[in-house]
């Protein structure tokens, strides 16, 4: 198997703990990520992303390929940032893969993150292997984005599981009301 070359990748880290932040920056650099940007909290991330959109020269990059963000931060936490990225009209890329880093690992929290459109959840305390796995998953298993009345984000159905009961999914690609955007 060929090894990835992360040299052209640009990652934004959003983490308020100085120690964890330098740990993440350091790890990504060692893994070969070409551009690593780091900010303190969600508010700064939003400012940075707006800058990428409006003034890429001064931001130093034309795009952010992956956002890795802590959940619990103030004043703007990871979930508020995720909501902004997915829904705000000023967001430079509503489809950007988003890794939510959190010490909350209860199923309820993970579901909450998923329903807001997080691509991956990285549990704290994390290992380097776990970071590597999340990167591989984002690259290899890109999921379609789904936009319904109450959800916008990567397809929450990740696995193909046989259905034992009546299949309640009534729509397919050809059904009226289903629109497919390719790009």
Contacts (CB under 8 A) with another protein, residues 56-75: 65-66, 70, 72, 74
Q: Transcribe 35-64 into DSSP letters.
A: EEEEESSHHHHHHHHHHHHH-HHHHT-S--
Q: Does 107 participate in binding another protein (rule CB under 8 A)? A: no
Pair of tokens at residue 164: 């034992």
Residue from 128, 156, 157, 158 binding another protein (CB under 8 A): 128
Terminal-residue alpha carbon distance, the chain: 28
Stretch that binds another protein, among 23-31, 48-56, 75-83, 157-165 (CB under 8 A): 23-31
Cβ contact 169:161 at 8 Å: no
Q: Does 163 participate in binding another protein (rule CB under 8 A)? A: no
Pair of tokens at residue 66: 């992956």
Residue from 42, 43, 92, 97 binding another protein (CB under 8 A): 97
Q: If phi over 0 gives left and psi between -120 and 50 gives alpha, with beta otherwise, what is residue 112?
A: alpha
Residues at the site binding another protein, with contacts judged by CB under 8 A = 1-6, 8-9, 15-20, 22-23, 26-27, 30-32, 65-66, 70, 72, 74, 95, 97, 103, 124-129, 131-132, 135-136, 138-140, 142, 144-149, 171, 173, 176-183
């Amino acid at each position: 198997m060929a090894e990835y070359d992360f040299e052209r990748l640009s990652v934004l880290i959003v983490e308020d703990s100085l120690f964890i932040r330098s740990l993440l920056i350091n790890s990504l650099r060692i893994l070969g990520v070409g551009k690593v940007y780091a900010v303190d909290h969600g508010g700064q991330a939003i400012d940075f992303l707006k800058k990428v959109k409006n003034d890429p020269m001064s931001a130093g990059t034309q795009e952010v390929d992956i956002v890795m963000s802590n959940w619990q931060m103030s004043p703007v936490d990871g979930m508020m940032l995720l909501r902004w990225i997915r829904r705000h009209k000023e967001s430079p890329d509503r489809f950007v893969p988003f890794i939510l880093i959190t010490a909350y690992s209860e199923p309820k929290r993970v579901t909450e993150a998923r329903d807001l459109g997080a691509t991956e959840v990285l549990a704290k305390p994390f290992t380097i292997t776990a970071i590597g796995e999340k990167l591989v998953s984002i690259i290899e298993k890109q999921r379609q984005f789904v936009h319904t009345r109450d959800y916008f984000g990567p397809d929450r159905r990740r696995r193909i599981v046989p259905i034992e009961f009546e299949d309640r999914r009534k729509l397919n690609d050809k059904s009226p009301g289903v629109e497919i955007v390719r790009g």
